[in-house]
C-alpha cells in the first residue's frame, strides 16, 4: 500500500493567515492526489482533485500543488469556517489511502 | 441533487456480521459514469477505504479487509450494501458510503465526490 504522510498533524493560525499543509507519498503518485475538508461530526468534502484542480463550488482561497511524492494544500486567507481538519488521499493505485489528517486550530 | 444515506444497526456484537445499506436518491447507481464505495473512520482517527463496486457487480476490496467484506448492489432499489463479518471492537467506526466521480484532465482521475452523512457502528457485547 502507498503510505500518505501529512505534516503538520496540527497547526495554530489566525483568521486571514496563509497556511500550507504538506502531504508526502511513500512512492511517486504522479498527480493522483485529492484533498478533503472534514468538519466535526460531518462527512469529508472534496476540495481538490488531480493535485491542483478545484472542485466545483469550492472557494478559490483553496489551492493545491505538487506532483510525484510531495503535495501542498494552501489556504490563502483563513476564514473562521476553515478551522477544521484536512486529509489527503491518493488515487494512483489500489487500495486508495488517506493521510492521517491535519487539524487547523485557532491561535 | 444526488444524496446518499446510510442505514443499519448501530450496535453489533463481537463475532457477528455488520450490515449496512446506502440508499441513493436523485440519481442512479446504474449510471455507467460512477463507482460506489464504503469508507470508515474509527472515533478520533483517520479514514480507511473498505471497498467499491460498479453497477455491473464488479467489486474492489481493501486487501486488509478482503476476507471479511462483501459489497453488493440492488439496482431495483437504487441501493448498495456492505457486509463485514466476524467483527471485533476494532471495527467500531463511523461508516460512510460515497460516490466515486471521475474527471479527465490530462488523464482520468477519480475521487470521492459525494458522501453520505455517515453512521456510527459500535461493536460491543
- Alpha helix segments (H runs only) across chain A: none
Q: Does A97 touch chain B (CB under 8 A)?
A: yes
Distance CA B91, CA B43 (A): 10
Residues of chain B neighbouring A44 (CB-CB closer than 8 A)? 47, 96, 112, 115
Residue of A nearest to B51 (CA): A95
Q: Tens digits of per-residue pLDDT, A7-65?
A: 999 999 999 999 999 999 999 999 999 999 999 999 999 999 999 999 999 999 999 99
Distances (CA, A) of A63 to B21, B58, B63, B125: 35, 34, 32, 46
* B125 Cα to chain A: minimum distance (Å): 25
Yes or no, beta carbons of B105 and A53 under 8 Å apart? yes
Residue of B nearest to A31 (CA): B109
pLDDT at residue number B103: 85
pLDDT at residue number B104: 85
- The three grid cell numbers given for residue B23, joined into one nine-digit string: 440508499
* B13 Cα to chain A: minimum distance (Å): 24
pLDDT at residue number B105: 80
Distance CA B57, CA B113 (A): 21
Average pLDDT of span A74-84 = 97
* A71 Cα to chain B: minimum distance (Å): 16
Torsion-angle region of B123 (φ positive above 0: left; ψ -120 to 50: alpha; else: beta)? beta
Confidence of residue B123 (pLDDT cuts 50, 70, 90): very high
Yes or no, beta carbons of B47 and A42 under 8 Å apart? no
Out of A50, A96, A100, the one facing B105 most closely (by C-beta) is: A50
Distances (CA, A) of A16 to A65, A77, A81, A102, B121: 21, 4, 12, 18, 38
Q: Give me the residue label for grid cell 500518505.
A: A4
Yes or no, beta carbons of B109 and A50 under 8 Å apart? yes
Lowest mean pLDDT among A95-99, B39-43, B77-81, B103-107: B103-107
Torsion-angle region of B59 (φ positive above 0: left; ψ -120 to 50: alpha; else: beta)? beta
Yes or no, beta carbons of B46 and A99 under 8 Å apart? yes
* A16 Cα to chain B: minimum distance (Å): 27
Average pLDDT of span A90-101 = 97
Yes or no, beta carbons of B49 and A42 under 8 Å apart? no
Amino acid at each position: 500500500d502507498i503510505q500518505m504522510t501529512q505534516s503538520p498533524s496540527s497547526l495554530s493560525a489566525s483568521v486571514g493567515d496563509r497556511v500550507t499543509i504538506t502531504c508526502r507519498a511513500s512512492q511517486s503518485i504522479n498527480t493522483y492526489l485529492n484533498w478533503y475538508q472534514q468538519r466535526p461530526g460531518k462527512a469529508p468534502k472534496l476540495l481538490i482533485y488531480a493535485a491542483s484542480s478545484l472542485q466545483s463550488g469550492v472557494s478559490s482561497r483553496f489551492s493545491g500543488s505538487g506532483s510525484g511524492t510531495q503535495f501542498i494544500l494552501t489556504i490563502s486567507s483563513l476564514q473562521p469556517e476553515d478551522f477544521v481538519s484536512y486529509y489527503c488521499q491518493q488515487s494512483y493505485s489500489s487500495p486508495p489511502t488517506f493521510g492521517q489528517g491535519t487539524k487547523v486550530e485557532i491561535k | 441533487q444526488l444524496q446518499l444515506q446510510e442505514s443499519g444497526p448501530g450496535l453489533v456484537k463481537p463475532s457477528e456480521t455488520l450490515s449496512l445499506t446506502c440508499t441513493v436518491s436523485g440519481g442512479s447507481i446504474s449510471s455507467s459514469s460512477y463507482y460506489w464505495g464504503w469508507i470508515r473512520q474509527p472515533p478520533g482517527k483517520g479514514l480507511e477505504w473498505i471497498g467499491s463496486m460498479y453497477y455491473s457487480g464488479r467489486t474492489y476490496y481493501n486487501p486488509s479487509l478482503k476476507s471479511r467484506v462483501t459489497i453488493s448492489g440492488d439496482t431495483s432499489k437504487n441501493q448498495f450494501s456492505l457486509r463485514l463479518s466476524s467483527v471485533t471492537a476494532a471495527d467500531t467506526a463511523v461508516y460512510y458510503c460515497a460516490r466515486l466521480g471521475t474527471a479527465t484532465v490530462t488523464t482520468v482521475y477519480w475521487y470521492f465526490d459525494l458522501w453520505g452523512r455517515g453512521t456510527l457502528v459500535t461493536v460491543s457485547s
